[in-house]
Amino acid sequence: MKASIKSNEVLLAERIQHIPQGPFNIHPIFAKKAKGAIVTDVEGKEYIDFAGGIGVNNIGHCDEEVLKAVRDQIDQYIHTCFHVVMYEPYVELARRLNSLTPGTFPKKTMFANSGAEAVENAIKIARHATGRPATIAFEDAFHGRTLLAVSLTSKMKPYKFGFAPYAPEIYRIPYAYCYRCAFNLEYPSCELHCAYSLKEFFHTHISAENVAALIVEPVLGEGGFVVPPREYFKVLQKLCQDNGIVFIADEIQSGFGRTAKMFAMEHYEVTPDIITMAKSLAGGFPLSAITGRAEMMDHPQPGGLGGTYGGNPVACRAGLAVLDQFEKKDLLSRAEKIGKKVLETFKDFYDRFPSVGDVRGLGAMVGMELVTDRKSKEPATALTKRLIETCREKGLLMISAGTHANVIRPLMPLVITDEQLERGLLIIEESFGELHRTTA
């Protein structure tokens, strides 16, 4: 391919002509290069990246050590297919993830390509290991777009609408979304009714002995950066243990340092039976992982799991370099500092801008929910969109989240400098100020 001299506008017209609208786009710009926390478009404009490729670039764009590992690997071999000729990077990364993930029991890991595939495999393994059909999922959950994954996903438009019939035997309960409690209760006087209601659910919707798995995000990602109370997952896990249900933590967005621990479940002191990982696992290379109790992971027969590209050697080498960089650069401490700064700033916005309805966070996974009115809590979807557009015009890339797309969810690379972080937050502040003046 020749070096591009096409403008964003020309490329956008070509994109519209040749590519369907389904694979959506948030920003009408095309990348030329990206490094650390800066993305440069084809016209040479630089943006501070608060989106990180939707949580994929926790260690920053084009990390030097990842590049070195990848270059070394492609000089040796790129693909043999793990099912045909095995290779060490797959085994080594599995070994590292088995010891890194919560839980001291024997574990095994397999690899796939995307988050959705990790979720699909986790459910298949749980069904095989338990001999049961059903899965419990949550309102506002996001688990991907393949047919089983989208059946587990909650939001109708755009994810589910028009794609029915969905995979069967999926049952949904409310998440601990305290700002919008499904039971109209308040924490802590609610005594975690949302978690304990699962007991009754087993009488009214699905018998516990037919449930293979409960799959849950430790912090809702696409659902709006919702952080449940500390004891929530302990209650859910106990109900799973009492009923022989596999507890699956979907750490695809919350994992790899985003919450200032390697895995968000560590904050809750809960050890899932199976963990799904993807996104920041391999610094931008398509790789996902499923790590779980050895006896469960070993249950499906040879050939029952796998795929042509799963655990590609280049992606596994990138993953190994990512783990090294987390240690070398102490990115967990950095995530803690970033989270503190963002939370403080968003709380200040809450005090100054009436459209901020709620601010919440865990580590650097901090969300700001916008509403048209604090009393009615009506989602301010249009304002959120305008805020994101205004920020882009000023040189900051951001994305939204939430079932009503009214939550600002910063997913900046954890290698972002203090100056870039300050500048990005200032752009949000300025944009907010302008939008409040125009809507006042």
DSSP 317-329: HHHHHHHHHHHHT
Please count the residues of this chain forming the interface with ligand PLP, following the rule CB under 6 A. 15
Binder among 101, 253, 325, 420 for ligand PLP (CB under 6 A): 253
Q: Give every CB contact of residue 380 below 8 A, 6+ residues apart in sequence.
A: 355, 357, 370, 371, 372, 406
The verdict on 120 binding ligand PLP (CB under 6 A) reads: no
Closer Cβ to ligand PLP, 146 or 381, answer by number: 146
Nearest to 397 by CA among 377, 372, 423: 423
The verdict on 115 binding ligand PLP (CB under 6 A) reads: yes
Binder among 57, 58, 101, 114 for ligand PLP (CB under 6 A): 114
Residue type for position 230: R
Residue type for position 198: L
Whether 226 and 219 have beta carbons less than 8 Å apart is answered as yes
The verdict on 221 binding ligand PLP (CB under 6 A) reads: yes
Nearest-approach distance from CB 414 to ligand PLP, in angstroms? 17
Distance separating alpha carbons of residues 250 and 272, to the nearest angstrom: 10
Nearest-approach distance from CB 328 to ligand PLP, in angstroms? 26
Nearest-approach distance from CB 165 to ligand PLP, in angstroms? 21
The verdict on 278 binding ligand PLP (CB under 6 A) reads: yes
Q: For ligand PLP, which residue has the nearest CB?
A: 115
The verdict on 409 binding ligand PLP (CB under 6 A) reads: no
The verdict on 57 binding ligand PLP (CB under 6 A) reads: no
The verdict on 222 binding ligand PLP (CB under 6 A) reads: yes
Residues 129-148 within binding reach of ligand PLP (CB under 6 A): 142-144
Binder among 51, 66, 93, 119 for ligand PLP (CB under 6 A): 119
Mapping DSSP to helix (H, G, I), strand (E, B) and coil, where does residue 333 land? helix
Q: Which single residue is written with the structure tokens 């969905």? A: 166
Q: Please, what sign has the CA dihedral across residues 5, 6, 8, 12? A: negative
DSSP 56-70: T-TT-BT-HHHHHHH
Closer Cβ to ligand PLP, 144 or 410, answer by number: 144
What is the CA angle 403-409-412, rounded to 5?
Answer: 150
Residue type for position 265: M
Stretch that binds ligand PLP, among 108-116, 205-213, 299-307, 332-340 (CB under 6 A): 108-116
Mapping DSSP to helix (H, G, I), strand (E, B) and coil, where does residue 107 land? strand
Residue 25, both tokens: 């786009």
| Interacting residue ranges for ligand PLP, rule: CB under 6 A | 54, 114-116, 119, 142-144, 217, 221-222, 250, 252-253, 278
